[in-house]
Structure 1
Amino acid sequence: MKRLNARPLLVVSMMGIAWLPLPTYGAESVEPALESGGHGEILVTARRRQEAAQDVPLAISVLDSRAIEGTGSFNVARITQLQPSLQFYSTNPRNSAANIRGLGAPFGLTNDGIEQGVGVYIDQVYNSRIAAATFDFLDVEQVEVLRGPQGTLYGKNTTAGAINITTRAPSFDFEGRAEVTVGNLEFVQAKASVSGPLVEDKLAVRLAASKGSRRGTIYNVVTDRWVNEQDNLGLRGALLWRATDSLDLTLSADYNRQDPECCAQIYVRTGATQRPLSRQFAGLAAAFGYAPPSTNAFDRLTDLDSALDAYQEIGGASLRAEWDFGPGTLTSVSAWRFWNWGPSNDRDFTGLPITTVSANPSKQDQYSQEFRYAVTGDRLDYVVGLFAYHQRQHTTGAQEQGPAASRWLLNPTSANANNPAVLEGLRSENDILLKTTSLAAFGQLSWRVTDRIKVQPGLRVNYDKKSGSYEAVVRTGNGELLVCNPPPTSSVTRDQCATLPPQSYSPKFSDWNISGDLTVSYEISDDVLGYATYAKSFKSGGINLAGLPLDASNNPILSAQTVKPEDVNHFEIGLKTQFWDSRATFNLAGFWTEISDYQATVTNGQLGVLRGYLANADKVRVRGIEADFSVRPNERLSLYASSAFTDHEYVQFVDAPCPPELAGGTTAQPGQTPSAPGTPGGISPANCDISGQWLPGISKWAFSYGIEYRLPVELLGNDGEAYAAFDGNYRSKFSSNPSRSAYTDIAGYSVANFRFGFRKDDRWDASFWVRNAFDEKYYEILATQSGSTGLVVGQPADPRTYGLTIRTQF
């Protein structure tokens, strides 16, 4: 079999198939390997052994290096435009989440005490920080997106899926690659890699580097600078030692750095809340004589008056040993990774001095060890493994209020609401520590019952332990220590305690769980595979490390310091087909996932507290159908289409946070009827029953599609091929708030991308590209300002961008 080295192809998704052009797609599509004159197969390692993607009874999408490079998909966020079932949301690298089929991480600001439900693996190493997915891909050979629970094959339990990234291995043949891109917005990016032998047939090395920068897309009228820029550096090296004919050792190291002036969220609109009119955004702004520089977010203007920074470093080293031993291969992966985060934000989202400091710098180290033994036989294939993981993270945060905070944040009935001195200089300094240990034994068996029927059971035993500490020390503007327990009698101190309450607690969690899955597959014919899967999975319980709500005595409510594990029941059926002499692929998958004790973000009741905390929703459900189609009718034309229909809801969540239109008023007492949404000075429910409502971040319909046409030509005496390509995607409306609000729905949108170029074999390629060609105006994410002022802020997506890319290899 030969690894497919294709152009546009695509994924699996159903219910309305759109036509799209895409590069190589795995278990969801296969493109003929015309270079070899035959029909190639896309090879994947999804089940920890190399096999043809179409033979894997699993919903999986694959992009090879040509697909990634050709579509400009240089990080996970860009891949979402090619994968309808993959979602990625980010207000900055730390506050990022990758979801598959809408599941994986709760929507909102990151809480470090819980885990992602989507695992990101780079060269078989689990990355606990989703921030790793914000970096530019460097020397990547292939990206596999696995949908559904994957805990019986992967080191860290992943209840929603996995993103498996494989970089190019060191080569015993000398080779090199180089790429330069220039574009509008002062975009410049350069990548290069080189590989070759140090000792013939024994020792090989590979080195790669990338550097990219781009001007920001938002103009700050206060600092006279463009913000939300890009400034990325990546370095990677690998050394392969062929110790014996049966033992390979690969030592890898990488370093990535981002240092952009980022990440601004800007004025989008206002919506009526239940706070008194004088304390909603319009009234407050008028009292200060303030107006945002524009009320049209697509003017891309802001006046943020606090420093913006999104500095981060991610890196580490790993040693992978692969030993052909007995009937199988024993693999050991030892890894250390680090993450340093140095942010600065303007969390009041305005040019007023409300919150003048908001920063939570963090340092994290993680260590992991995985052992796997994989055997492929005539009737039985199996993988068994052990996994150990330890993480330590230390965060030292600060939040400080400015002279506008009293009027903006305090309850309007307070006598201090118009006294700037009450909150000015009030500063909370937080010291947060997290330690996580995870141990697991896992395995999966594939038994060929007959020539066409396979039964594939899997089992995982998992132990998780988390411990942490949270301490917030608060000082007033005079430098005095703020004491809130016992409850103060002074109205000034009460208002300070209600805004930035000091607190200290030390949460702990530990638990065992057993999960498993069972897949039965049937080869209906040589080119048609049907399968059915049931999986019982768990996402580890967590601890709250962003502050807790307080009781009447200003003590943390300790019952909220931990959250239960998610309990996942997953059902899936699928059909994988190839026809027309393997030139066309059509795959279907239907799934039904129910989660009990879903880990959701809820809002802290204190007005000045920016971060929410975590709680368990009783039950959520996500179900849908996906379809992928790709075809290469001849040597010149490739087409792909992928679609996903996803039905999603909170089945039961009776004590959820209320949306902004039902917040900000006087809390309803027993027997009181809450006011209608948006009633100024009204009565707000203490919590809301959002059972039956949408989950955040999920579109009911999503499509990706593409086409590429190639024509042999001669250019400057060189025989090659000219090509023209289009790829596009569409998402229907989705909610951008944990509790759906009329103010934070993001309207559906479609994005179109074009590229035109000339390539000569695989030696060099030059292309002109346009992304978001029709300058579609849409938001990546929307959020609300704390304090129920009704201000809605957001991040406009990139405008039209264009440029030229030249790449060569030798």
Structure 2
Amino acid sequence: MKFDKVFTVTSLSVAMVALTFPVNASAQSEDTAPTQKPSSETQGYEDIVVTARRTSESLQNVPVAVTALSGSALADRSVTNLSEVTQSVPNMLSAGSGNGGSAGQFFLRGVGQGDFTVNMDPGVAIYIDGVYYPRTQGANLDLVDVERVEVLRGPQGTLYGKNATGGLISYITRSPDAPERMQAMMEVSSRNGLRGQFSFNRELSDNDTLYIGGSVVGLTQDGWGDVLVAPTNTSKLGLGKGNFNKRQSVSGRLSLLFRPSDALKFTVRGDMTEQNGAGPAVVLLAATPGTTTSNLVSEEQRADIGKFDRFYSDYRPPNDLSLRGISLTGELDLGGATLKSITAYRTLKQSAGLDFDATDKAIANYGQKVWQNQFSQELQLNGSSFDGALDWITGAYFLREKLSQELTLEGTAAPATLSGGTVQFQDVTPLTKSGLLPV
């Protein structure tokens, strides 16, 4: 079997997909997708297969408002993470968050969730290779070695359960048994930014039974804006002098596909992400006379109010993230039906925060730490009856999610309102269990 090696140095990401359509193809439906394929005279692209309804079918025949973007289409647009997908999807918005650049707070048709605390579930569901990702923390995923991204607009509770009120984002990575390839890419950006990625997949056996695939991406980028606060006047919660939005991260994926027979296959997938850096800055735009902020702001800072490159924050919050995930997907062809099982376990750790007052005094410094783990099990059975006149799907789903979150507020410079110290105002450890039995 031919094995191509492609090494590219460019400012654009490069990706290939297992789907059979042109490099620049992207399929985008209107609010009501066509129910039949265009005529051969008007059809501009070859057939695009999606799994928006948990079964493989032509995009032209899916009666759902869905946008499907291939890996090559995303690369053509220089899209590197989920937040940037919003540029190509109607009615989709990625809101900015004080929870760090790794947060993914998505809205579809105006429906979503702006609160990133763990007792609030997102309004737009995210799935990674069929595994539900229930938190906004870390949800702004890097797009590397991706086969396609499908965005379903509108409520999807029938097939996907709770937390899909606004819609759903399905992130599908490249299958290990796709055409073999090896790719490397490197790009540079502002603030001494450097991003590199490597991906591959190939067959490990000579009888179409064992395949392996994987990818790794690394990123480093300096922050912006100088923190001018004196080193002796920094917050107890986090970092001192330096820059905001500094980032360093590395993430990787590895998948193994085993096909013992034509009717049965198993896919094991694992992923990890490690990120550290500094969170976003808050800009002081005004200091109204007589307020706590105006009384405590220094004359030096008063001259720089409204500037986006000179900061006096005593708290430069961290933006640290650690993700781990593993899943096992089994598929069995029963003849007239297909049985599919997805078993998954994921963990998350995050440290973030914000200096709400943007001064060199601790008026309102906020810090957050989140720990999360989840186990999910899904069974799907779908098929066709009466010579294709009836397509059906049924299944069962179970999710157990355990969360822990600490929110801390420091306000030593405002004793009248914050008791003159560091206050832990929320410490929650919820346990969530969910089940779904769609028919």
1:267 match: secondary structure: coil
Greater RCO, CA 8 A, separation 6+: 1
For residues 389 and 296 of structure 1, do their structure 2 counterparts lie closer, same or farther at Cα, with a shift above 3 Å needed?
A: same
Q: Note the 1:212-223 alignment, pairs <5 A.
A: 212-222=219-229
| Alpha-carbon displacement from aligned partner over 1:383-413 (angstroms, at most 9, x marks no partner) | 11111001001223433322x2136x47xxx
Structure-2 residue corresponding to 1:143:
149
Query: Are 1:424 and 2:412 an aligned pair?
Result: no
Conserved 8 A contact 1:151-1:442? no
Structure-2 residue corresponding to 1:590:
none
Structure 1: gaps of 5 or more residues: 15-25, 411-422, 444-810
Q: In structure 1, how many angstroms separate the alpha carbons of the residues matched to 2:19 and 2:368?
A: 48
Q: In structure 2, how many angstroms separate the alpha carbons of the residues matched to 1:76 and 1:47?
A: 21
Query: Are 1:265 and 2:275 an aligned pair?
Result: no
Conserved 8 A contact 1:122-1:164? yes
1:364 to 347, 369, 372: 372
Structure-2 residue corresponding to 1:210:
217
1:322 match: secondary structure: strand
Q: In structure 2, how many angstroms separate the alpha carbons of the residues matched to 1:48 and 1:169?
A: 17
Which of structures 1 and 2 has the bigger CA Rg?
A: 1
Q: Given residue 375 of structure 1, which amino acid in structure 2 is its aligned partner?
A: G
Deviation (angstroms), 1:32: 12
Q: In structure 2, how many angstroms separate the alpha carbons of the residues matched to 1:337 and 1:146?
A: 24
For residues 42 and 294 of structure 1, do their structure 2 counterparts lie closer, same or farther at Cα, with a shift above 3 Å needed?
A: farther
Structure-2 residue corresponding to 1:246:
263
Query: Are 1:70 and 2:79 an aligned pair?
Result: no
Query: Are 1:176 and 2:182 an aligned pair?
Result: yes
Q: Tell me the C-alpha RMSD between the 2 structures.
A: 2.9
| Alpha-carbon displacement from aligned partner over 1:712-767 (angstroms, at most 9, x marks no partner) | xxxxxxxxxxxxxxxxxxxxxxxxxxxxxxxxxxxxxxxxxxxxxxxxxxxxxxxx
2:359 match: secondary structure: coil
Structure-1 residue corresponding to 2:383:
375
1:199 match: secondary structure: coil
Structure-1 residue corresponding to 2:8:
none
Deviation (angstroms), 1:99: 1.1
For residues 102 and 379 of structure 1, do their structure 2 counterparts lie closer, same or farther at Cα, with a shift above 3 Å needed?
A: same
For residues 213 and 13 of structure 1, do their structure 2 counterparts lie closer, same or farther at Cα, with a shift above 3 Å needed?
A: farther
Conserved 8 A contact 1:320-1:333? yes
Structure-2 residue corresponding to 1:439:
435
Q: How many residues align?
A: 403
1:227 match: secondary structure: coil
Structure-1 residue corresponding to 2:290:
278
| Alpha-carbon displacement from aligned partner over 1:111-158 (angstroms, at most 9, x marks no partner) | 311311211001000001123432311211100100011121225551
1:296 to 287, 295, 306: 306
Q: In structure 1, how many angstroms separate the alpha carbons of the residues matched to 2:38 and 2:198?
A: 27
For residues 241 and 280 of structure 1, do their structure 2 counterparts lie closer, same or farther at Cα, with a shift above 3 Å needed?
A: same
Q: In structure 2, how many angstroms separate the alpha carbons of the residues matched to 1:406 and 1:95?
A: 32
Q: In structure 1, how many angstroms separate the alpha carbons of the residues matched to 2:27 and 2:174?
A: 22
Conserved 8 A contact 1:100-1:161? yes
For residues 2 and 369 of structure 1, do their structure 2 counterparts lie closer, same or farther at Cα, with a shift above 3 Å needed?
A: closer
Query: Are 1:103 and 2:120 an aligned pair?
Result: no
Deviation (angstroms), 1:173: 5.2
Q: In structure 1, how many angstroms separate the alpha carbons of the residues matched to 2:193 and 2:356?
A: 28
Structure-2 residue corresponding to 1:391:
401
For residues 302 and 191 of structure 1, do their structure 2 counterparts lie closer, same or farther at Cα, with a shift above 3 Å needed?
A: same
Q: Given residue 155 of structure 2, which amino acid in structure 1 is its aligned partner?
A: P
Deviation (angstroms), 1:372: 0.6
Q: In structure 2, how many angstroms separate the alpha carbons of the residues matched to 1:7 and 1:173?
A: 18
Q: In structure 2, how many angstroms separate the alpha carbons of the residues matched to 1:114 and 1:430?
A: 14
Conserved 8 A contact 1:251-1:320? yes
Conserved 8 A contact 2:99-2:116? no
Conserved 8 A contact 1:31-1:39? no
Q: Given residue 5 of structure 1, which amino acid in structure 2 is its aligned partner?
A: P
For residues 305 and 97 of structure 1, do their structure 2 counterparts lie closer, same or farther at Cα, with a shift above 3 Å needed?
A: same
Q: In structure 1, how many angstroms separate the alpha carbons of the residues matched to 2:178 and 2:88?
A: 33
Q: In structure 1, how many angstroms separate the alpha carbons of the residues matched to 2:64 and 2:117?
A: 31
Conserved 8 A contact 1:155-1:386? no
Deviation (angstroms), 1:175: 1.8
Q: In structure 1, how many angstroms separate the alpha carbons of the residues matched to 2:354 and 2:163?
A: 33
The more displaced of 430-439 and 232-241 is 430-439
Deviation (angstroms), 1:267: 2.2
The more displaced of 4-13 and 75-84 is 4-13
Conserved 8 A contact 2:137-2:350? no
1:350 match: secondary structure: coil
Conserved 8 A contact 1:293-1:301? no
The more displaced of 1-10 and 221-230 is 1-10
Query: Are 1:322 and 2:331 an aligned pair?
Result: yes
Deviation (angstroms), 1:429: 6.7
Structure-2 residue corresponding to 1:656:
none
Structure-2 residue corresponding to 1:192:
198
Conserved 8 A contact 1:219-1:225? yes
Q: In structure 1, how many angstroms separate the alpha carbons of the residues matched to 2:84 and 2:326?
A: 26
Structure-1 residue corresponding to 2:340:
331
1:66 match: secondary structure: helix
For residues 248 and 399 of structure 1, do their structure 2 counterparts lie closer, same or farther at Cα, with a shift above 3 Å needed?
A: same
Q: In structure 1, how many angstroms separate the alpha carbons of the residues matched to 2:432 and 2:285?
A: 39
Q: In structure 2, how many angstroms separate the alpha carbons of the residues matched to 1:364 and 1:71?
A: 33
Q: In structure 2, how many angstroms separate the alpha carbons of the residues matched to 1:362 and 1:243?
A: 41
Q: Given residue 276 of structure 2, which amino acid in structure 1 is its aligned partner?
A: D
Structure-2 residue corresponding to 1:49:
55
Q: Given residue 367 of structure 2, which amino acid in structure 1 is its aligned partner?
A: A
Conserved 8 A contact 1:396-1:431? yes
Conserved 8 A contact 1:218-1:228? no
Structure-1 residue corresponding to 2:362:
353
Q: In structure 1, how many angstroms separate the alpha carbons of the residues matched to 2:327 and 2:301?
A: 52
Q: Please give the TM-score of this superposition, normalised by the length of structure 1.
A: 0.47
Query: Are 1:118 and 2:124 an aligned pair?
Result: yes
Deviation (angstroms), 1:59: 0.6
| Alpha-carbon displacement from aligned partner over 1:71-111 (angstroms, at most 9, x marks no partner) | 12111211112223111122224764211111021x3x423
Structure 2: gaps of 5 or more residues: 1-17, 230-239
Q: In structure 2, how many angstroms separate the alpha carbons of the residues matched to 1:214 and 1:84?
A: 30
Q: In structure 2, how many angstroms separate the alpha carbons of the residues matched to 1:217 and 1:353?
A: 22
Q: Given residue 306 of structure 1, which amino acid in structure 2 is its aligned partner?
A: Y
For residues 32 and 164 of structure 1, do their structure 2 counterparts lie closer, same or farther at Cα, with a shift above 3 Å needed?
A: farther
Conserved 8 A contact 2:292-2:414? no
For residues 426 and 256 of structure 1, do their structure 2 counterparts lie closer, same or farther at Cα, with a shift above 3 Å needed?
A: closer
Deviation (angstroms), 1:301: 2.7
| Alpha-carbon displacement from aligned partner over 1:661-713 (angstroms, at most 9, x marks no partner) | xxxxxxxxxxxxxxxxxxxxxxxxxxxxxxxxxxxxxxxxxxxxxxxxxxxxx
Q: In structure 2, how many angstroms separate the alpha carbons of the residues matched to 1:68 and 1:181?
A: 15
Q: In structure 1, how many angstroms separate the alpha carbons of the residues matched to 2:187 and 2:384?
A: 43
